[in-house]
Structure 1
């Protein structure tokens, strides 16, 4: 057959030509197409992130492409365009039904389709991918007449069966979801959306299947009116129940957009019949939109107010229940606590009685210990004093000259004996402090003279270690202090001696100055310093710094404890300052000027 003899019109923009002989074709295609585009845009700009909305957008997009492809079949004069569009439509058919099933599953069950279900849907597309370019899809293009038809293969029958299968699954899933749901609102939504979706799928399948069987494809165009039915059900559900999380205001815009798009058809409609049908459609859309929104808007407002009030009531009830439960728990806890407190009181009374007995025993033991230390120290002092006297006589040559080795040994003995004397003195003083028997003999003393005696005594010890020992006294005489000179001398001597012992390089400075109503004696050194964490414990019994072991310096840890008590007994204060380990230290003694105590304490 000569294709030129058919007198086919050349299609403009692929879809406009005189080849479309039935005036209803444009109306049946462009009307649902524009409705779908309007709904697609509404969903996209309202809530495109929701999964069910994404699937519905895909479904509407597939329908729009299908409608355009079908219009190309009607309008084009080129057989290759017909064959290509017909091949694309088989995929779009299955896309719409698969998307409809996926959408209904997510909408009804409020969750995503399991991976197994997605994989099964994917497998249904495998035969199409394999056979789309074979005779099982399209047998041939009929050139025996001028109807521009392609002959469908058995693959289309497979597609129609799958479509019916998906529609059946949607119906079954909706019934199950309806029965499982306990909320009336969700049940009504399921009924509305399922009804609209089933009517759309049935109408669409009927049009395609009827066209394939009768080969009268003008019948198939009526199946496209299923999408406006679905959109109508969906719009009512959106206005009534805020389905897809789209508000009434958005639906108003949607209806307005539909009216504008439908009115745009007047620019390319060629027949009076289509103009009349489009005008009637616009009128129906207007009436439907106004009635729908007016009838439901007030109800929606009341419903929202009621929901807010109900939520607030539920929240308050829940809070009251929680508060009541909490009060009951607290009452039970209080009863239990009261019982425990009563038991604890009895237990504490027993413990208190036992502690009182233990304290009495400890006090007796402590007194016995103090008495023992005091007695032992007194007993030790006599032989140690005798040793010191004999050693002094040996060093002075009272028993004849000594060889250098003998003299060195005697001096070392003297040093060890002096340490023993200091230890005994510290033990005696600590014992007196703890037992409250420390005696003070106050008299007016010149503190400069006491410090000078200390420096004269220890200067040689500093020189032996290659250290300086500076004494800085004020240029003007200081007033006399009413103190126990012997004990203050003992404290200052101990501070200077410690400074010499704990300094490896540099030296020690003893400084006296008047500071308001007090006289301040400061012993500074360039020695090992004192870490901040050790300072609070420095004046406690048996406390020694961590770095003293490195210097191999002997000591009992009682000197500063005894010194602090002696200075406080003289009405003064003593403290230490140091920037840290390795940065030296400064011990400061403050004694009050003008004290009038002249008695033995």
Structure 2
């Protein structure tokens, strides 16, 4: 059969001697191994064999195999069997620490993803030397027959424990890094500290107890390592109960009952007489029945509590939704009140602006009908004719803005459909400036124009683009004080500086596929509080109202709608007292069909919903 160890008598199966092993070996390892394997199996089944549950099972099985091998080394009666156990011990330790590192990587990942191939390769290469030196004297130098124990070589001794210590720090490092990377409100962040403390305590006690046992030659010290597994199991159970780790539900009562059952069952290893065995068995049976009843009751109560908790969550969610809807309605009401006020102000202004030109026109027409006009000198008659011309022009602008705004706000009214044409923008701008010749001369303002050469034409609807550019240039002229005050425009420039409006056009430096139009003035500028609402309906800055009373607050709204309809954008830069620059960037060839009416009515419908 082989050579027997000096202190062994093969009483069990003619192979083992249980009397050699200290009772503490069974009491420290057996309950812990059973509980760890049960938890591994429970999590594996309940989480439907997910990757993280497989790795936890691998950790528990590696630890169980290591413990089984230690048992075998202690109770084997024959030298060959003990030698085998000593030689293969590093295999289970390597599997334990490699699976622990792998498990830690996957567990702390929010999506429980597998590690990369490179990480697996590094783990394999680090563990490979242990397997290579396993059958050589670099692992076990020799076997001491007098005490029936192996003497590890320093190669194995240093590398093995260095590998295990590095593994512990590796796990701590990845846990800290992951913890710092997660936001504070991430539920998985709270789990990482418990997991890190549990697994690092287990591995540290495992390595420390084995290392001290090797140094002192007192192998019983290694039994302390099982305490580490108890700590790890405790933290895992807490994570499962409190945070549903592994997507598994475990009640506190279930965990406690299983642990108590295992502890009671482990007493059979120390009982010396049959009476105690009977009493322990009876205790185990009664506690199993009571535990089953208790677990069932607690489970029912826990399910009721969970139902109430879910119901409270639904109620809270609905309450929060109602609060959000209430705030949204209140905000919408406030906006409607503001819009209604703006519309009222607009109607008052518009009615006044409509009455004044009509009164002038009516008065002149009355003089013509009654023949008073024919009695006047030519110069005086010319003054009246110019007045009628100015008022009709002003009336046309007011009516035009009102009709456009109405069309943009209601799909029942239509904006005239034009097919897109190729537009020479520099020529269009020059023509607009020429048309403003009388106003420019009357105001005493210098208007300049510059253009890059050989600019491509822009595809668009000319009528609308012309209207947008007219509005921008008209605003620059109106809101730039000069040395001359007119009946419509109040405010006079101080000093000798003249009012200047500079219109330029060229390729957009930010987007070569676009044309960029600039309308720059040294006028009154736009206050900060008015900038955010400048492109909205009926919006006018206070200093603009003070300078030009007849504005409707619709011009820039119309500009924005037309430019957006051409797939372009409009923005401005302004400083009070120094002037304003408006920018219009338009694609030379817009993507899709240019249909301003469609864009405006869709946008108006969206705004009308609000």
Q: TM-score, normalised by structure 1?
A: 0.48
- Structure number with bigger Rg: 1
Q: TM-score, normalised by structure 2?
A: 0.47
